[in-house]
Amino acid sequence: MPRDPLIGLVGKPSSGKSTTLNSLTDASSKVGNFPFTTIDPQRAIGYLQIPCACARFNLTDRCKPNYGACVDGKRSVPIELLDVAGLVPGAHEGKGLGNKFLDDLRHADALIHVVDVSGTTDAEGKATRGYDPSQDIVWLRSEIENWILGNLMEKWGSIKRRHIATKATAVETLQNQFSGYGSTTQTVARTLDRLSLKEPLETWSNLTISTVVSALITEKFPTVFALNKIDHPDADANIAKIAKLHPPDSVVLCSAISEVFLRRLAKQGFVRYIEGSDAVDTRDDLLEQADPAAGALKPLDDKLRARIENLRDMVLYRFGSTGVVQVLARAAELLGLVPVFPVRNIHTFAAGGGGNAVFRDCVLVRKGTTVAQVARKVVGDAPLAYVEGVGGRVGEEEVVGVGRMMCYLLRLVDEECIVADLGDSWRAPRAQERGIYSRCFSPGCACRCVGQGGYKLRAARTARAFHPSDISNVRIYYNTCAVGSSSTHP
């Protein structure tokens, strides 16, 4: 069954990783301006904002998610995040908490590299002034490369000998080595295709091996650079320098501490604030607009009012938001995540249970995921009889993709069981001869012998007795619809 995506937050100590995690979630990672505030990896659930399917079908008033939230057609979908120990130069040699960091890192599908663009912390996270944060991006990438490359080179001789002896392909040999880093055969194949290497693996030079490792990291760990602390006076020059060195779709400006501050004030009832927006409303603001919601907010003292005004000027008005929500959306975009909405009824989009709520659930899958994989993610390993799409049946290898509107009816075997009465005249010895005790006539059914008189068939909800000749007619067991959203981010 495809596992849920995991996004790792990386960076040097005191760069704002834990604050960024707290701004994306309700976690309470320790924060502080000293090295290794995070010692153990912190896992938490963040919320990716996407356009909800309810808006497309004008059903926003009936959309009630089981997890997350949906406000006016904007859905917050849970996604797992990982904040690992801060990385310092020399980590691949064991410096700091490097080996632990790198071992935690291998589970991630994408990375958010939190960069302190204020220049007030050096490479080890110690307080300073005038540091060039563009160097953090260079050496952190180098540490990851050196870690994987070092592990590979230690056994390269035996790898070559086994490769020749087994007559394996380069993809097969490399996947055996890179699987421990969370790589897949498809990842390795795409890496080698992009490099277009002509030489056989056993003749590769050290430079070629290093190039392959670097390309694999690019493929395996798509990375967003979250330029944090943008409200600092020294940030502008550092932002401009980094923006020139990296593609624009990999860079997002953010102020994690501002997001944490605004969310805390909103929870305490001092302001009205929607995550990711460019505005924050106080009680005074709403009174000026004659908004009746003003009565629900608490009045501000002068100190708190001044802090909010400063945050508006330095972050919201200048950059359009705190950038934190956009960081997660960009990471999902680089991963190619597609939201899929499982429902019970493809006509009403109801989730079952007798209510009229729609689109109760949403799961995130990667671009290129097949319909069969989506089915396994939604209903587990229940046998799949066939898939019905808009206009007719589709194959299980139909691919889910961003920008496509898809509606599928999955015909699945239900979890409940019934007993089929085989009858004495049919059971022996013909049944043994044909191996009936271990299989069923219908490819969508899973059955097994339950004794001398019958079979147990995972099938329809209503138990009834039937002859084996009727098994192939038991077709419709459980209805599930998957609607793929057309976009992964606002």
Domain identity same for 205 and 262: no
* 477/471 Cα distance (integer angstroms): 13
What the block records as the tokens of 399 is 């691919």
Residue 70 placed within a domain: no
Domain identity same for 209 and 269: no
Please give the model's pTM, rounded to 2 decimal places. 0.78
Under DSSP, is residue 96 helix (H, G, I), strand (E, B) or coil? coil
Residue matched to tokens 């050496």: 139
> What is the reported pLDDT for 114?
95
Residue 160 placed within a domain: yes
Residue 206 placed within a domain: yes
Domain identity same for 279 and 223: no
Domain identity same for 285 and 342: no
Domain identity same for 384 and 315: no
What the block records as the tokens of 45 is 């659930």
- Domain edge (last residue) among 274, 298, 322: 322
Residue 139 sits in a domain of what CATH number?
Answer: 1.10.8.470
Domain identity same for 266 and 189: no
Domain identity same for 161 and 225: yes
At position 431, the amino acid (one-letter code) is A
* 5/377 Cα distance (integer angstroms): 12
Provide block-wise average pLDDT over 10 residues at a time, the chain (490 residues). 80 86 66 40 83 89 90 90 72 52 80 95 88 94 89 94 95 93 91 93 96 95 96 95 95 96 94 92 94 93 95 95 95 90 76 77 84 77 63 71 57 39 33 33 34 34 34 31 39
Which domain covers residue 16, as residue numbers?
6-41+84-245
- Domain edge (last residue) among 322, 350, 365: 322
Residue 307 placed within a domain: yes
Q: For the segment 314-355, what is each residue's pLDDT rounded down to a tens digit?
A: 999 999 999 999 999 999 999 989 888 877 776 778 766 667
Residue 57 placed within a domain: no
- DSSP category for residue 87: P
CA quadruple 412, 417, 421, 426: dihedral positive or negative? positive
Domain identity same for 109 and 22: yes
Residue 23 placed within a domain: yes
Residue 328 placed within a domain: no
What the block records as the tokens of 154 is 């230690």
Q: What angle do CA 297, 302, 307 make, to 5 degrees?
A: 85
Domain identity same for 307 and 368: no
Domain identity same for 295 and 417: no
Domain identity same for 151 and 233: yes
> What is the reported pLDDT for 273?
94
Residue matched to tokens 């239900």: 414
Cα distances (angstroms) measured from residue 379 to each of 155, 319, 374, 456: 41, 43, 9, 20
At position 65, the amino acid (one-letter code) is P
* 359/56 Cα distance (integer angstroms): 12
Residue 73 placed within a domain: no
Number of domains in the chain: 3
Domain identity same for 125 and 160: yes
220 membership: H or E segment, kind and range: helix 206-220
- Domain edge (last residue) among 222, 245, 268: 245
What the block records as the tokens of 457 is 């068939």
* 92/362 Cα distance (integer angstroms): 38
* 280/308 Cα distance (integer angstroms): 8
Q: β-strand 417-421 against 454-458: which pairing, if any?
A: antiparallel
